[in-house]
Amino acid sequence: MSSSNTTVQTINVKSSDTAFFHNNVDFCVGTGRFGLALTKEYLDELRFVQEEIGFKHIRGHGIFTDDTAIYHEYEEDGITKVEYNYTYLDRIMDEYLKLNIRPFIELGFMPKDLASGTQTIFYWKGNTTPPKSYERWCDLVVALLTHLMERYGEKDVLTWPIEVWNEPNLPGFWEHADMKEYCKLFKETFTAIKELNPAFKVGGPAICGVKDAEWIKGFLDFCKENELKPDFITRHHYTIEFPEADGHYDYSVLMDEEAGFANLQSTRDIIDSFDEYKGLPIHITEFSSSYTPKGVIHDTNLNAALMARQLSRLGDMNESYSYWTFGDVFEETGVPFSLFHGGFGLVAAGSIPKPTFWTFKFYTDLKKLGEGCVFKNDNAVIEKTAKGYAGVLFNESSDESLDIKLSLEDIAKGEDADNEYTLILKTVSPKTTNPLKLWHDLGEPATPNSEQTKLIKSAAFPQVTSDRLTASEGSISFDQTLDPETVVYFELSKSKVKSDRGYSYERTINTR
């Protein structure tokens, strides 16, 4: 991609500057249904993600669906009895803990034996009807949590957030999108969990996009009337208009980002309008650009740049925000037909990182190094560090380059005013980091062989460049041009060259 238009932006930063930036990028990430964690490819992808990023929690559907096989009813002496089977649950949770990730438990969907109806959703037929017995539903939830505490320790399990159901404001996910029935489900579930142990953190209503203001207010009105105090509120956030389907794929038109942020703020405002719930944390338990697992935008550099801006702003009004999802092992609309199919994942099959993966990696690295945000706008987040500065720069435009002229003032003082610094730049752009293009140029093999996978993966990593800069009167300036749809991570840190006796870098590279 080339651009003949360039926008110039000057950024001047002082170490005493401050800007609000709540960076909780690594708190949680989404997954397909829990049963997929029984497969090797799923665990390979999650292992790669955890090694590079290291999310604290993982949230997915289907902890109670029949492929995890927890809930069973049987007849004995003419009496219907219930038994639980934790074989698969334990196998899944054991793998999660090995990878140092804990569940953000979404309670759903309904086991077939416990369901009041036959409505299902997705290729894997998750039942989305209320329980035929709320007593047995609550017994199931309490038994699950009791088992988890016995196996993994009460202290640990009590830190695992619990969300009641998923998107009950959509009729496909909750029969008739019945708010009254959902509120009953929440009350019964919330009460049962708090009676088991009041230290559990429980929230809802996990709504997405339709009548969200009505649902948030209605839910809190119900909680107030019934003297319930959820520990947090959950909702979802996607940034596209209704997509156009073509074959196996969905093509999306982006919505106005500012309208999306305003919608999130409206949820904050509704919660804070209740004296009882003012300041209650909001967890976005799903977010991405497109809400379809066939959304081709997910595989692109544009998505990486879009998510860079989202991550810079989502903490303004939310405690956490969970990207949907970490990997492309996902079957809501069926088994994918091809390697790059618009899947939600940060990584594709073969643990091939998509450009958006690096956006999350960059913000995670910034969180580890950062000691306070000094600058934030629609193209940059910059933090001071123990040795200098670090930041994420991004350009969402698809047709204009962005030339950022960055001046980092009072980086060094006194005797250190003229010290040398190392500048590390990691660039993710259509030119430098574009596995989608290489796959296309190879002829779009649906399931690449091992050599093709290795080649595609080699094109999926950032371009790393470096320089040595000298502070002048305590300040350092450098220019960075961002091509369209580009994300750049930089670290500027004080360093000193300590050459071995007789070694000269300058003589080495100038041998002719």
Rounded Cα distance between 365 and 488, Å, is 12
Rounded Cα distance between 143 and 156, Å, is 17
Check 167, 175, 286, 485 and give the catalytic one. 167
The residues near 378 (Cβ < 8 Å, ≥ 6 apart) are 309, 312
Parallel, antiparallel or unpaired: strands 400-408 and 282-288: unpaired
Other C-beta atoms closer than 10 Å to the C-beta of 187 total: 16
Backbone angles phi and psi of 492, in degrees to 5 = -120, 115
- Residue 464 contacts residue 399 (beta carbons within 8 Å): no
Query: Residue 285: enclosing H or E segment and its boundaries?
Result: strand 282-288
**3-state secondary structure (DSSP) of residue 287:** strand
SS (H, E, C) 415-466: HHCCCEEEEEEEEECCCCCCHHHHHHHCCCCCCCCHHHHHHHHHCCCCEEEE
Half-sphere exposure of 236 (CA within 13 A, CB side): 29
Q: Determine the residue type at 164.
A: V
SS (H, E, C) 361-395: HHHHHHHHHCCCEEEEECCEEEEECCCEEEEEEEE
Asked if omega into 267 is within 30° of 0 (cis), the reply is no
Backbone angles phi and psi of 147, in degrees to 5 = -60, -45
Structure token digits, residue 164? 């009641």
Is-catalytic flag, 167?
Answer: yes
Tokens 């066939």 found at: 294
Structure token digits, residue 213? 């203001």
Residues comprising the chain, all counted? 512
Q: Determine the residue type at 388.
A: G
Active site residues: 167
